[in-house]
Structure 1
Amino acid sequence: MLSWGQKRGTSEHGAKLETPLQGPKQHCWFVWDPVGIVCAMATWALVVSAAWVLIRDLLIPSNNIFYAVANCVVFHLLAFLALMSHLRTMLTDPGSVPLGNPPGPDTVSYCALCLSAVPERTYHCIICGRCIRKNDHHCPWVNNCVGEDNQKHFLLFTLYVGLTSAHVLLLLGIPILRSHAQGEWNASSTVSPPSPILFLSLLALMGLLLAFVMFCIQLCTIFRDKTTTEMLYQNKHSQGRRSMWANIKAICGPRISLAWLSPFHSPERHKASERHDTA
């Protein structure tokens, strides 16, 4: 998942205010990376194919209209939220520093690739071709960097992919466990599921494992207010907030609400003066 085509563009300084970014705001953000585009398209194709197999080979043959409709609604709701989170992560500017950004009060370094003065905790991504504020990593599956301004959407993407995969595994596993409990088959029985069901099982299992790992990594970085790069290189000079609660509010929003779970909501960035607030 991680692409290490990132180049550190900061020096070791204390926490300061964010550099005021100059130039017009970019309204459309899209990374023209062939590998990333293919991976992003593959992500959507896998979700759509899973939906097709689930309906055709699992829900319709059940002959239970309520069971089929209820699980179809749950699956498509989770899948829709996952895909919208993916889309928002891919098309949201992760926190890029404008090309040729002039020095500001918190400038700590100069990027020769972007010809820009950059603030603390800003890392250059070779794939995106820009310096990204609080750049966590470049993820080819969303064809974008995960940075300061789209980390919430990436966190929701991993959450909803995991929930969608878990739902599919429950639909596949509960009938098997029920049959085993009723003595319909035992260890000597041979089970040969159809190829589409086997494909769906492997896809859901891989989705659950990968999403769970990524979700846990993101929570860890958010709680500690560090990027994945800073954690790997044990950067002790990045100053975190005083509490995990303050850190999660900085990513998801200042108040607990259903907006935390919405991929359509983008929380306003906390001011630098709030960095040392406690929850």
Structure 2
Amino acid sequence: MSGNTHNQQYYGASRLGKGVCYWGPTQDLINTFQCTDGLPITESPLYDAAKPFDNRDPRLDMYCVRQNSRYLGYQFEPNTSVKTVSNYWPVINGQSGTPGSVSNSDASNAYRSFSGYLWRKHIDIADFNSTSVSGVSDMNVGIFRLAELLLIYAEAKIEANQLDNTVYDAINRVRLRAKMPALPNGLTQAQLRKALRYERKIELANDGLRWYDLRRWDIAKTVMNGVIYLNRDAKSWTKSIITGFDESYTPIYNPTEAAKYFTTQEVVFRENKDELWPVPKSEIDASDKLTQNPGY
């Protein structure tokens, strides 16, 4: 409907795209996208670290913005060595057959993308002229998706160890829509769980569900402790940075090698506290039956 008041695009869009680019995928998510043969980048013969975005799950470019992408009418280049970038608005507006050139504020601004990537998902070029901190987007905020319903069903069946064809059908409906190969038959419960967690991580990226998934699966204490890797300067990397993926499809890094290419941000998850939100004091004051969750 017209007249929505959210400002999601303002916080997610690039500097040239009239945003402040506070939100963006981490290197962990970028590395998680499989190759088009359905294998992780540590196993697929299609993966080439010199051309890391080739032959990847199409959702990488559907959902994420990486260097040398066209985004909101401009060429996105977070590398500070790139001083000017293409401006496609003369082409979009029918004023010219070729793009112009503008100063690359997506690299020069101190508050440029902190991860080196941005979200394409939930961003619409039609909102370019109205993007503001006040929030006047005409894009509806998603409440529930069919893909999530299918993956909820598959997860419930997997955890109940009811590994019938409906589990494969539910996950494959999501994968085939994304033009990814169907899962092979005969997977174990652990293998299907890993496949399911890949789909939720990728298909539902930036849908606001990951926080809950990490806690439901009891893996936040691993995923959200230590460091996350960022690539603010859009550096190239080698295959030696990553050694594999764990049972929840979280990349396993070689820290010594990864530190040569990426910056890090420390993250902390406090067990026996951060699994739950605090109960609002107003609710506790209203009922003597309620007690505060641990750690608050």
- Is the structural similarity TM-score above 0.5? no
**More helix per residue: 1 or 2?**
1
Q: Which has the larger radius of gyration?
A: 1
TM-score by length of 1: 0.26
